[in-house]
Amino acid sequence: MDKLLHTILYRSLFFCSLETLKDVWEGAYDRHYLKLSQIVSAAMKGDEPIDDKDEQDKIQKDYRMRTCINCWHLNEYESAAMWSLYSGTNGIAIVSTVDRLVNAISGAPQAISIGQVRYVDFRSGEHQTLQPLSEPAMFKRKSFEHEQEIRAFTTADNASGGIDVPVDLIQLIEVIVISPEAPNWHEPMIKDILKKIGLPLAVEKSDLYRPI
């Protein structure tokens, strides 16, 4: 509920920095790639190649601090598991499409990329041939494959945990869906808030657990 209020009041999407996420593998560079980058950089400067793990850690930390993401679940149907994992009685889901998201943030002042997250086994080295051509932010461990995530990401200096990106809410939101476990007064309250701030958006309560 608080994230929805933030979105509609500020007419923006919050992009959190990778460093704030629970999964410490978020945005993880492959060590072989970092080492290769150091070798190439040293060669271009005419220096002796080194394997500087402290410098690799610094690159990794800087990337996680500067890279900010906004996450979406890709599915044709409601997911009971996603409601259970990320919601509760106060949960809200914004229904949209990739095209809507692209158009809604097209006026943002910063460059934003959007893509589908790839789920890989980091320990097997599966991502080593993939990652140099892609952003580390677009890789997650297979343990999170149930999320089926579409991710928008950008970079920002001094992100301080994240940034707000302006968004066209009418373009973005197809419908706002309220948690199936939310009390009945949530729906009229949200509709009233939207009416008062002049946002003509559709609102409905999930019928996931409605009796047949």
Q: Is the pLDDT of residue 36 over 90?
A: no
Q: What is the mean predicted confidence (pLDDT) over 159-168? A: 92
Mean pLDDT on 166-175: 97
The pLDDT tens digits of the residues spanning 57-89 come to 777 788 889 999 999 999 999 999 999 998 878
pLDDT of 123: 72
Enter the tokens of residue 52: 């500087």
Q: How confident is the model at residue 132 (pLDDT cuts 50, 70, 90)?
A: very low
CB-based contact 4:92 (threshold 8 Å): yes
Outline where the chain has alpha helix (H): 2-10, 31-45, 53-66, 80-86, 98-104, 169-172, 186-196
Which comes out higher in pLDDT, residue 129 or 96?
96
pLDDT at 37: 63
Long-range own/partner contacts, residues 72-79 (CB < 8 A, 24 or more apart) = 72/96, 72/101, 72/149, 72/150, 72/151, 72/152, 73/147, 73/148, 73/149, 73/150, 74/116, 74/148, 74/149, 74/150, 75/148, 78/177, 78/206, 78/208
Percent of the chain with pLDDT over 70: 84
Sequence-separated (6 or more) residues with CB below 8 Å from residue 39:
49
The answer on pLDDT for 138 being more than 70 is: yes
Tell me the mean pLDDT in the region 160-189: 95
pLDDT, one tens digit per residue, over 177-188 is: 999 999 999 999
Instruction: Name the residue with higher pLDDT: 172 or 43.
Output: 172
Q: Compute the distance between CA of residue 108 and CA of residue 99 in angstroms, rounded to an integer.
A: 15
Other Cβ atoms within 10 Å of 113 Cβ, number: 12
Closest CA to 17 of 69, 58, 59: 69
Segment 86-127, tens digit of pLDDT:
887 889 999 999 999 999 999 999 999 999 999 988 776 555
